Amino acid sequence: MGSLALAQANFSINEFFRQSLVEIAKKERPKECCGIIATYNDTPVAIYQLKNDHPHPRIAWAFSLEEQYSTTIDLKKKNWEVGAIFHSHPSGDAFPSDSDVKNAYYPVPYIIIGFTPRVDIRTFLIIERDFWIALPDSEEGKYLSNKKAI
């Protein structure tokens, strides 16, 4: 992994952020929620929930371009960065779908809130829109990948 990926591999959110994301996802069900975790000096500082503008929001997500733009402006004003992207799988597990991997354009961790078989939240690095690695806080301190053993 390069230095950026190594820095991202240390990304984590505290219990307050975890519970806040679960609450957002529950409120949006049966649609997928989506948004941004803002960071300052690599520390999560805020959650920006964005409108899911995907034509099929029950099975996929896409940021509202207007809200994505205004969020980007707000982050720059505050000297914050996009630290992570989050979305939910209202009727699925907390692992990236093929579509999630293919559409992972931001070089940041991705957080997925799943509801099947139980509420779960996991953090992933999606590498070159090809494969994913689950970060250790996601699975009892173990790295998981869809391509190879880590």
pLDDT tens-digit series, residues 55-68 = 999 999 999 999 99
Our answer to whether residue 139 is catalytic in this structure is no
Assigned domain for 150 exists: no
Summarize pLDDT for 82-121 with one digit per residue, the tens: 999 999 999 999 999 999 999 999 889 999 999 998 999 9
Residue 110's pLDDT is what? 95
- Find the domain containing 134 and state its range: 3-145
Q: Which of 15, 28, 32, 140 is catalytic?
A: 32
| 21 part of a folded domain | yes
Joined together, the tokens standing for residue 23 give 């609450």
pTM here? 0.87
In a domain, 104, yes or no: yes
Query: Rounded distance, CA 37 to CA 46, Å?
Result: 6
Identify the CATH number of the domain in which residue 61 sits.
3.40.140.10
Confidence of residue 132 (pLDDT cuts 50, 70, 90): confident
Residue 48 lies in a domain: yes
Q: Report the mean per-residue pLDDT for the chain.
A: 87
In a domain, 55, yes or no: yes
User: Within 10 A of 121 (CB to CB), how many other CB atoms are there?
Assistant: 20
pLDDT of residue 137: 59
Number of domains in the chain: 1
pLDDT the model gives residue 117: 86
* pLDDT value of position 128: 82
Start-to-end Cα distance in the chain: 11
Summarize the confidence of residues 39-49 as an average pLDDT: 96
